[in-house]
Structure 1
Amino acid sequence: MATGVAPAPLPHVRVRDGGIGFTRSVDFAKILSVPATLRVGSSRGRVLMAKSSSTGSDTMELEPSSEGSPLLVAFRVAECFDKIRVNPGNFADRRAQFEQLEYTEDDYQKELEHIEKVFSPLVEKCKQYGRAMRIGTNHGSLSDRIMSYYGDSPRGMVESALEFARICRKLDFHNFVFSMKAKAGEGEDGRMKSAIGIGTLLMDGLGDTIRVSLTEPPEEEIDPCRRLANLGTHAADLQIGVAPFEEKQRRYFDFQRRSGQLPLQKEGEEVDYRGVLHRDGSVLMSVSLDQLKAPELLYRSLAAKLVVGMPFKDLATVDSILLRELPAVEDAQARLALKRLVDISMGVLTPLSEQLTKPLPHGCVDKALVNVDELSSGAHKLLPEGTRLAVTLRGDESYEQLDLLKGVDDITMLLHSVPYGEEKTGRVHAARRLFEYLETNGLNFPVIHHIEFPKSVNRDDFVIGAGANVGALLVDGLGDGVLLEAADQEFEFLRDTSFNLLQGCRMRNTKTEYVSCPSCGRTLFDLQEIAIMGCIVNGPGEMADADFGYVGGAPGKIDLYVGKTVVQWRGPLTP
């Protein structure tokens, strides 16, 4: 498929003799080559094509054409507009039918030769008219050939685009850009996934243009784009980063999670350490002393189930808490509430100073929180024997300081405990440096990503900042959990965002997830009301990873999928 790109509504749009006309004053227009079977109201099996009007006219028209191909439409677009978009999966390469194909090297090369034969005339046309091209791949429209060779993966999207780019280079055409897109969904989930995917690249200084695809009115996509752009610009302006280091351990072409060693139970220990962290990713929350004074409300806030007032862990219950201040010795109610949390294997982290001045009975605290200086001074040795430690680090410590970690066992690490935005140290880069050190030295401690946001942070900035600064690491398999803090935000919002972050990084699933695409003109039904799937062009590919798919196949009709198999074809929109 080849398209131009256009804002809407277009000024001076008019219809004439069944064609759509518009003035030359518009900068761009969007033209789609749509399969004849999908044309709304068309009984003649025709596609849309662009046609320049007579010399001197101020209009260009879209009019019904005889049976045509995407290449014919693309030629007309290239003649009329400054920039065209080519989707490799819909242009010369057949969109996926979810068939597992076996290719020899010769077979694969023949396919590439076919693509070059079909694509080259368009490249020459763009050279002739001085046009620009956007080579844009969609996760939902990769070909069977690409998916059979590279899997249904981001690398497949990249390779699909590079195949077309190599043809452009070979023909001495260099006026092109790339775009890669996958659908994000709506609301906080959509913004979180966009931040994870796009923010990850921005933190590395990669990318020139941002598009966020949300299942919301198009204008709602502008704000998260701006927030992401501001995040990337801020990082670039400050030149955030970390001292240079050689990175050898991180995997670039396949995913392999670094799973920290979860706490093991030792004989004679009163606290059950086996549940304080979760194997698929842990959520930690900061709890105040005042919250301990209302136990049942606190248990509910932590998403624990209550049975006769007693808490029990559930699927999406917080795993551990950070308690910066311990209750006074005489505050029996608060101490009992804390003991009941420990009894259900909820971890409790408290500062070293609090444990030394307000000691709790042995077995009531999971870990003592210490920094590098306290570790260096040996102050932690004043604690009762067997007390486990949680060490706070920034990631940019000297290697001499990091070497202190080799002398302690059974620790959990909290990475980046400094307030968000106060330092020029790049969190992503400093974290990679720390993980490189841990892997090189065979230290398999679990690492929790800790970010403390400023008091006045906007909710969307919070979601996007967490996705970009933490999600960028989790999607590379670096990290075992999150601790997000923001003083002005509701406790439940912080908790839910933490779980959404883990699920968005494909770590810990705690809720049903609806995969959906933007509400574009090809959807053919009210997507926001249905909130499941999208159009026939990209829909089948986008829902391929889901258990169930609901795809608009024709006006007023839907196709139902179980996995990648159609179980109902062109069914009614409503029962």
Structure 2
Amino acid sequence: MKVAECFDKIRINPGNFADRRAQFEKLEYTEADYQDELQHIEEVFTPLVEKCKKYGRAMRIGTNHGSLSDRIMSYYGDSPRGMVESAFEFARICRKHDYHNFVFSMKASNPVVMVQAYRLLVSEMYLNDWDYPLHLGVTEAGEGEDGRMKSAIGIGALLQDGLGDTIRVSLTEAPEEEIDPCTKLANLGMKISAEQKGVAEFQEKHRRYFDFQRRTGQLPLQKEGELVDYRNVLHRDGSVLMSVTLDQLKNPETLYRNLATKLIIGMPYKDLATVDTILLNKLPAVGDKASRLAVKRLTDVGIGVLTPLTEQLANPLPHAMALATLDEIFSGAHKELPAGTRLAVTLRGDEPEERLEMLKDLDLIMLLQYLPEGDEKASRAHASRRLFEYLQTNELNFPVIHHLRFPANTDRDDLVIKAGSEAGAMLVDGLGDGVLLEAADLDFEFLRNTSFGMLQGCRMRNTKTEYVSCPSCGRTLFDLQDVSAEIREKTDHLPGVSIAIMGCIVNGPGEMADADFGYVGGAPGKIDLYVGKEVVRRGIAMEKATNELISLIKEHGRWVDPEPTEN
């Protein structure tokens, strides 16, 4: 009430404004109980609405996935539907008092939940003939490439659909570091809006807008007589493909490390986050026995090798999969391949349907959807959705890999933002089975980590510890960046475990709905530890808190010792 007298815009959280934050003190509500609480909310909230009207203030009705009230949780659970209903209760009061100067936000640290909630909100607004602005953000996204990737996936997916008016990128970094990725996303949204690019009109009948249901491509089948197990060339939870050069083949051990294989006496073996398939745009000469041996060792352990059809025709590599264009399929060039060669096809997604009809007669191992950077003819998002609609309508279950190639001198943040906004926007809808990022002058490790980070951000393939951490603010009780770095160093080998690192009790329980364990500033120099939303240890001295967190993870059977690495 006091702040509304002083500032142009205020934010209220429907989950804890005049309502109980979810503590599960009361799990069952009768209809009378529910209506009584709604009446209480209106009594408490109306004076603020009237004050905002009086002073001409704007308001953000900002629902957060992690701080829904007991009442909402009892009816809707911890769901996007509950987030929307929580916000609508307050919006209805605003409208009842003829106050319309408000915006909505539906933030979550999980991009899938965040996207679902905003889409559901917009759908409900259309049904009610409302049109209020949207403030977009992935809350507590973390730091580095992971934080940028999660923000790009969530915000970018909505901007691709023309949804969003203001945005916030929330990183565990110096506040000024948030400006650049935020600006890049804003520019992306403005560019999409200005260009109005699309594809030939089509109707989407299969995409699930409000609940995550992945369109899972049929993994390759093993055929009788094949010497290579092609079932391994893709991963059921999402695949990472990487482009490999002839120069990289000349240093096999370095290449194996770059692919994130295990090394045992210099020999590669697949690990949890090993690249699934490599793309060789050029094949080593038949006489280059060392390079061919390096490739054979990869295929021997189940890593796929993909090469252009022209390369496989001119310089055959045993067990390589041939990548053909639709033109090559149309011409029949693929019929010249050695008997038994497994086939993949690359296409744009905006081809005439009669061209796509050829796919029905092919035994494909995968599709690569590739639209050249800067293409003026089509929107990648719409071309992708059109392709998936065609595949699902015709019951074609080929795995689809999103293939993005970036020009020389591409900035790392630019790549993360663009890849997350374009390929991530598809994967977060369940449209796609993997990603292939190519950028000649960016290092292999960065591209691999970015690819796996995209799959994890889209809640597909979990290959590393998930961190939920807040940005610095005046309430933070410790140095978030230093503490985050310390915790990551000791816990980043725990795939499937989610750890929240929160600067204060205000942001703590309410912002870490998806976390398994929480490290929360409870008082100056003191840390509270959580399991889920429940505090289990209070007032731990900061210098002991990281080790106590590890002890807690061990108590709950989620700890594994890091594997020694071969020098």
Normalised TM-score (structure 1):
0.83
**Unaligned runs of at least 5 residues, structure 2:** 108-138, 485-500, 545-567
CA distance in structure 2 between the partners assigned to 1:451 and 1:423 by the alignment: 16
Contact persistence 2:272–2:463 (CA under 8 A): yes
* SS, match of residue 431 in structure 1: helix
| 2:121 is equivalent to residue 152 of structure 1 | no
Once the two structures are superposed, residues 444-476 of structure 1 have per-residue CA deviations (whole angstroms, 9 ceiling, x without a partner) of: 111111000111211100011111101111111
Q: Which residue of 2 aligns with 1:79?
A: 5
TM-aligned CA deviation for residue 497 of structure 1: 0.8
Q: Relative to 1, partners in 2 of residues 1:486 and 1:155: Cα closer, same or farther, differing over 3 Å?
A: farther
Q: CA deviation at 1:104?
A: 4.6
Q: Partner of 2:208 in structure 1?
A: 251
Aligned to 2:452: 499
Q: Does 1:207 align with 2:164?
A: yes
Among candidates 311, 319, 337, match of residue 268 of structure 2? 311
Q: In the alignment, is residue 335 of structure 1 matched against residue 292 of structure 2?
A: yes
CA offsets 1:357-379 (integer angstroms, 9 cap, x no match): 11234xx31x2101111122222
Residues 366-399 of structure 1 show CA distances to partners (whole Å, capped at 9, x for unaligned) of: x210111112222211112332211111111111
Match of 1:380 among 323, 334, 347: 334
2:350 is matched with: 396
CA contact (8 A) 2:65 2:513 kept: no
1:515 is aligned to 2:475: no
Between Structure 1 and Structure 2, which shows a larger proportion of helix residues?
2
- Pair 1:281–1:125, CA change in 2 (3 A): same
Give the Cα–Cα distance (whole angstroms) in 2 for the partners of residues 148 and 253 of structure 1. Answer: 20
From 415, 429, 440, the counterpart of 1:487: 440
Task: Show the counterpart of 2:390.
Answer: 437
Match of 1:113 in 2: 39
Q: Verify the 8 A CA contact 1:88 1:160 in the aligned structure 2.
A: yes
Could you say which residue in structure 2 is the equivalent of 1:32? none
C-alpha contact (below 8 Å) 2:246/2:283 kept by paired residues: yes
Secondary structure of 2:469's aligned partner? coil
CA distance in 1, matches of 2:473, 2:342: 54
Written as runs of structure 1 = structure 2, the 5 A alignment for 1:39-118 is: 74=1, 76-98=2-24, 101-118=27-44
Between structure 1 and structure 2, the one with the greater Rg is 1
Cα deviation per residue 1:316-362 (whole Å; 9 max; x = unaligned)?
1110011111111211111111111111111111111111111234x
Question: Structure 2 CA distance, aligned partners of 1:517 and 1:482?
Answer: 28
1:537 is displaced (CA, Å) by: 1.8
2:309 aligns with one of 329, 345, 352: 352
CA displacement at 1:98 relative to structure 2: 4.9
**Which amino acid letter does the alignment assign opposite residue 363 of structure 2?**
D
2:221 aligned with 1:264: yes
State the 1:535 CA deviation: 2.0
Question: How far apart, in 1, do the equivalents of 2:74 and 2:425 lie?
Answer: 27
Which residue type is aligned with residue 84 of structure 2?
Answer: V
Q: 2:519 aligns with which of 546, 550, 558?
A: 550
Give the gaps of 5 or more residues in structure 1: 1-73
Paired residues of 2:62 and 2:104 also in contact (CA < 8 A): yes
Identity across aligned pairs (percent)? 77
1:167 aligned onto 2:93: yes
Mapping of 1:20-39 within 5 angstroms?
Answer: none
SS in 1 for 2:103: strand
Contact 1:239 1:424 in 2 (8 A): no
Match of 1:409 in 2: 363
Partner residue of 1:467?
420
Q: Counterpart amino acid of 2:464? A: K
CA–CA distance in structure 2, aligned partners of residues 173 and 244 of structure 1: 39
The residue identity in structure 1 corresponding to 2:85 is: E
Q: CA deviation at 1:561?
A: 1.0
What SS does structure 2 have at the residue aligned with 1:350? Answer: strand
**Structure 1 residue 424: deviation in Å?**
4.3
Structure 2 CA distance, aligned partners of 1:128 and 1:572?
47
Residue identity in the other structure for 1:177: V
Which amino acid is 1:138 matched to?
N
Structure 1 stretch 126-135 or stretch 274-283: which is displaced more?
126-135
SS at match of 1:476: coil
Alpha carbons 1:352, 1:370 under 8 Å: kept: yes
Which of 50, 53, 59 is the equivalent residue of 1:124?
Answer: 50
- 1:63 aligns to what? none
Letter of the 1:158 counterpart: V
Match of 1:292 among 249, 255, 258: 249
Give the paired residue count: 497
Take 2:30 and 2:358, find their aligned partners in 1: how far apart are those partners?
Answer: 53
Task: Name the CA shift for 1:530/1:156 in 2 (closer, same or farther; >3 Å).
Answer: farther
- The aligned residue for residue 234 of structure 1 is 191
SS in 2 for 1:140: coil
